[in-house]
Copies of this chain bind each other. A is one copy, B any other.
Amino acid sequence: MTDAPTGARGSVGHLFQLLRDGRPHTRAELAKATGLARSTIAARVDQLLTLGLIVPVADAASTGGRPPSQFALNPSGRVVVAADLGASHATVAITDLTGSVVAEATDRMPIANGPETVLAWMVDAARRLLAGVGRDETAVAAIGIGLPGPVEFSTGRPVNPPIMPGWDRFDVPGWVREHIDVPVLVDNDVNISALGERSVAWPGADDLLFVKVATGIGAGVVSSGRLQRGAQGIAGDIGHVRVARGSDVPCSCGNTGCLEALASGPALARTLRASGIAAETGDDVVELVKNGSLEAIQAVRQAGRDIGEMLTVAVSLLNPRVIVIGGSMARVGEHLLAGIREVVYTRSMPLATERLAIAQSEAGARAAVLGASMLAVEHALEPENLSTKIAAALSAR
Residue numbers in B under 8 Å from A223 (CB-CB): 221, 223-224, 228, 230, 235
CB distance from A342 to the nearest CB of B (A): 13
Is residue A131 within 8 Å, beta carbon to beta carbon, of the partner chain? Answer: no
Pick from B14, B224, B384: contact of A9, CB under 8 Å: B384
Residue numbers in B under 8 Å from A38 (CB-CB): 37
Which residues 304-325 in A have Cβ within 8 Å of B in the complex? 309-310, 312-314, 316-321
Is residue A341 within 8 Å, beta carbon to beta carbon, of the partner chain? Answer: no
Is residue A48 within 8 Å, beta carbon to beta carbon, of the partner chain? Answer: no
Smallest CB gap from A237: residue in B? B316
Is residue A371 within 8 Å, beta carbon to beta carbon, of the partner chain? Answer: no
Binary flags per residue of A219-244, CB closer than 8 Å to B gives 1, else 0:
10101101011111111111011101
Instruction: Assess whether B10 is in contact with A219, with CB atoms less than 8 Å apart.
Output: no
The segment from A83-91, A267-275, A347-355 that touches chain B is A347-355
Pick from B160, B232, B310, B319: contact of A234, CB under 8 Å: B319
Is residue A31 within 8 Å, beta carbon to beta carbon, of the partner chain? Answer: yes
Q: What count of chain A residues pass the 8 Å CB interface test?
A: 64
Q: Which interface residue of A38, A234, A348 has the most chain B CB atoms within 10 A?
A: A234
Instruction: Assess whether B230 is in contact with A318, with CB atoms less than 8 Å apart.
Output: yes
CB distance from A381 to the nearest CB of B (A): 14
Residue numbers in B under 8 Å from A9 (CB-CB): 12, 384
CB distance from A344 to the nearest CB of B (A): 11
Knowing A237-B316, A319-B237 are in contact, say whether A231-B207 is a contact too (CB < 8 A).
Answer: yes
In the assembly, how many copies of this chain are there?
Answer: 2
Chain A binding surface, main DSSP class: loop
Instruction: Assess whether A320 is in contact with B159, with CB atoms less than 8 Å apart.
Output: no
Instruction: Assess whether B8 is in contact with A320, with CB atoms less than 8 Å apart.
Output: no
Knowing A7-B11, A37-B37 are in contact, say whether A159-B309 is a contact too (CB < 8 A).
Answer: no
**Once bound together, how far apart are the Cα atoms of A7 and B36, in whole Å?**
14
Instruction: Assess whether A244 is in contact with B244, with CB atoms less than 8 Å apart.
Output: yes
Is residue A154 within 8 Å, beta carbon to beta carbon, of the partner chain? Answer: no
Instruction: Assess whether B242 is in contact with A309, with CB atoms less than 8 Å apart.
Output: yes
Which residues 342-388 in A have Cβ within 8 Å of B in the complex? 347-349, 351-352, 354-356, 383-384
Instruction: Assess whether A234 is in contact with B351, with CB atoms less than 8 Å apart.
Output: yes
Having A8-B13, A223-B224, one finds 19 other A-B pairs with CB under 8 Å, namely A9-B384, A10-B13, A11-B11, A11-B12, A11-B14, A12-B35, A206-B231, A207-B235, A221-B318, A223-B223, A230-B319, A232-B319, A237-B316, A237-B351, A238-B317, A240-B348, A241-B347, A242-B309, A244-B244
**16 A-B pairs in the complex with CB atoms less than 8 angstroms apart:** A8-B13, A12-B35, A36-B37, A150-B351, A228-B318, A232-B351, A234-B319, A235-B317, A237-B319, A237-B352, A240-B316, A240-B347, A240-B348, A241-B312, A242-B309, A314-B317
Q: Taking beta carbons and an 8 Å cutoff, which residues of A are in contact with B? A: 5, 7-14, 31, 35-38, 40, 150, 159-160, 205-207, 219, 221, 223-224, 226, 228-238, 240-242, 244, 253, 255, 309-310, 312-314, 316-321, 347-349, 351-352, 354-356, 383-384
